[in-house]
Structure 1
């Protein structure tokens, strides 16, 4: 895999998909359908997926592709694959809260090694560079020309005053009970894969997720966090969260800056 080409293609496709999403987001109304698993889907999910999938297949025809919106891809069995969630945070999109993201990642041997997370309503773009280090692109975002970037890095956390980020739409008592095991200075909530990015930039130290997620929800954010020095581990035994699992479902997990002293489940 040519990582330089991959970074360029993923960045461009994410920004283009963001334009497609925002056109629908800013419309007076849009249809919301319900998938077989009772999760919502909109025309924005489907249009962004079609655009990203076509672009990835054209650029990397020999690399397997897994995407949330194409059930036929959920049986892919490959060590190296691209994985896409064209619109993570559909509930945030429907409620016009802005915390939704475009997510594209490369997984190699069970590890998300490269990824891009774009929050079009917030104008924030995070991605791993060709060498694997993560950046946030600043200034006006141009899909054809990469702008200035700043390196992002996890904090050196103070375990007596941690910053915690949790889900906006999927918060529950079990999550609150687990967070209660830490000395928390402040908490914030965010939707979608933005939570990984807040840990990656040092805006938060810890993100526990005690709820159902799929690999396409997490791979890009995981890659961005890893490229900023962060880690993502299973909630139960604190071993690294692996990808390419049958069915692509994740166990509960914890994303964090390595200086955090993890508490047991």
Structure 2
């Protein structure tokens, strides 16, 4: 994969999808349906997926594409592939809470090596550079012209005063029990893959996820975090979280800044 070519493309497609999502978000009403796994899907999910998937297939026709909204892609098996969640945080979108993101990543040999996370309602755009380092872009987000970018890096955590971020929609007792193992200075909730980005920017030290996720939920945020110096490991044995698994389902995991003394499950 030519990363100098990939990054401008996925950045632009994320912005285009974000514009469409916000057009629907700002409307008086929008349709909400229920998928076979009982999760919600909106016309914004489908419209964003159409923009991103058509763009990726046009630009990279020989690269496998896995996307949440196209069930037939979930049976693909490839060493290297693009993976998309066109609207992560659908519940946040439906409830108009703003914590939703557009996610596009490229996985190579089981590792998300490049990615973009765009939170259109928050006006935050994170992505990996062709070099692999992560940045946050600010400004008006023009499609064809990259604005001001600021390198991002993880915190230097204080294990006696950790900053923890956890899911807004899925924060349950198991999550609280695990968080209680740490000495916590502050704890915040956030939706979607924004949690990875808050660790990537040093706004949080650790994000534990004790609940079901799929690879398209996490790959782009994982890439951004990796590019800022962070890690994502399995909850059970603290080995690296890998991609391309059967059915693209993740085990529980922990995203964190190096220096956090991880507790056992």
Please, what TM-score do these two structures have when normalized by structure 1?
Answer: 1.00
Gaps of 5+ in 1: none
Q: Which runs of 5+ in 2 are unaligned?
A: none
Structure 2 Cα separation of the partners of residues 174 and 47 of structure 1: 35
Residue 121 of structure 2 aligns to a residue in which SS?
coil
Which residue pairs with 1:132 in the alignment? 132
Residue in structure 1 matched with residue 2 of structure 2 by the alignment: 2
1:146-157 matches, cutoff 5 A: 146-157=146-157
Aligned pairs for 1:104-183 (under 5 A) are: 104-183=104-183
Q: Which residue of 2 aligns with 1:259?
A: 259
1:207 is matched with which residue?
Answer: 207
Q: Secondary structure at the match of 1:159?
A: coil
Match of 2:13 in 1: 13
SS in 1 for 2:55: helix
What are the superposed Cα offsets for residues 120-177 of structure 1, whole Å, 9 maximum, x if unpaired? Answer: 0011000000000000001221111110100000001000000000000000001000
Question: For 1:235-264, what per-residue CA distance to the aligned partner results, in whole angstroms no more than 9, with x for missing partners?
Answer: 000000000001000000000001100000
Q: How does 1:25-64 map to 2 (within 5 A)?
A: 25-64=25-64
- Between the aligned partners of 2:131 and 2:220, the Cα distance in structure 1 is 16
Counterpart Cα distance in 1 of 2:31 and 2:46 = 12
- Provide, for residues 211-253 of structure 1, a one-character-per-residue CA deviation record: whole Å limited to 9, x for no partner: 0000000000000000000000000000000000010000000
Tell me the secondary structure at the aligned position of residue 171 of structure 2. Answer: coil
Which residue of structure 2 lines up, in the alignment, with residue 245 of structure 1?
Answer: 245
Tell me the equivalent position of 1:227: 227
Counterparts of 2:60 and 2:167 in 1: how far apart (Å)?
33
CA RMSD of aligned residues (A): 0.3
Distance 2:136 2:84 in 1: 19
Deviations 1:173-203 (A, max 9, x none): 0100000000000011000000000000000
SS in 1 for 2:46: helix
Distance 2:111 2:141 in 1: 28
Determine the C-alpha separation between the residues in 2 that align with 1:143 and 1:202.
27
Size of the alignment, in residue pairs?
265
Structure 2: distance between partners of 1:141 and 1:189: 26
Tell me the distance in 2 between the aligned counterparts of 1:225 and 1:255.
Answer: 8
Q: Name the SS for the 2:5 alignment partner.
A: helix
Distance 1:115 1:38 in 2: 28
3-state DSSP of counterpart to 1:87: strand
In the other structure, the counterpart of 2:96 is 96
Runs of 4+ with deviation above 2 angstroms: none
Partner Cα distance (2:61, 2:146) in 1: 24
Deviation at 1:22, TM superposition (A): 0.3
